[in-house]
């Protein structure tokens, strides 16, 4: 679990962005480039799905993917991290 949660700095950055800026549901393309490169975004969001922190939803009519935060206790780790790390760009 530690490797999935902390394996890459970009994973923490995107988790912090979700915690600080995203609503309960957001599209895969919403995290800004200053937070994570779009090419890496899907990979890191999938890892958060694997951890049970997000659920993934795909609309059959189009190719947009959106995510929804879960009530995973792992979000408390991100909440704690947000108090000691620099704020994530909007």
**Strand partners for 26:** 67
Residues in the chain: 90
Which secondary-structure segment (H or E) carries 27?
Answer: strand 25-27
The helix, strand and coil proportions of the chain, stated in percent and rounded to the nearest 5, come to: 40, 15, 45
Delineate the domains of the chain, giving CATH numbers in brackets: 2-68 (1.10.10)
Q: Angle at the Cα of 32 (from 8 to 18), degrees rounded to 5?
A: 65
Q: How far apart are CA 17 and CA 87, in angstroms?
A: 8
Helix 75-82, helix 9-20: angle, nearest 10: 90
Per-residue pLDDT of the chain (90 residues; tens, 9 = 90+): 656 677 778 888 999 999 988 678 999 989 999 889 988 999 999 999 999 999 999 988 888 899 999 999 999 999 999 888 876 654
């Amino acid at each position: 679990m530690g490797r999935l949660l902390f394996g890459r700095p970009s994973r923490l950055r995107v988790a912090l962005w979700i915690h600080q800026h995203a609503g309960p549901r957001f599209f895969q393309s919403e995290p800004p480039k200053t937070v994570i490169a779009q090419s890496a975004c899907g990979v890191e969001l999938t890892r958060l799905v694997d951890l049970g922190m997000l659920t993934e939803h795909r609309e059959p009519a189009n190719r947009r993917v959106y995510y929804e935060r879960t009530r995973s206790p792992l979000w408390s780790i991100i909440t704690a991290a947000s108090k000691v790390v620099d704020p994530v760009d909007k």
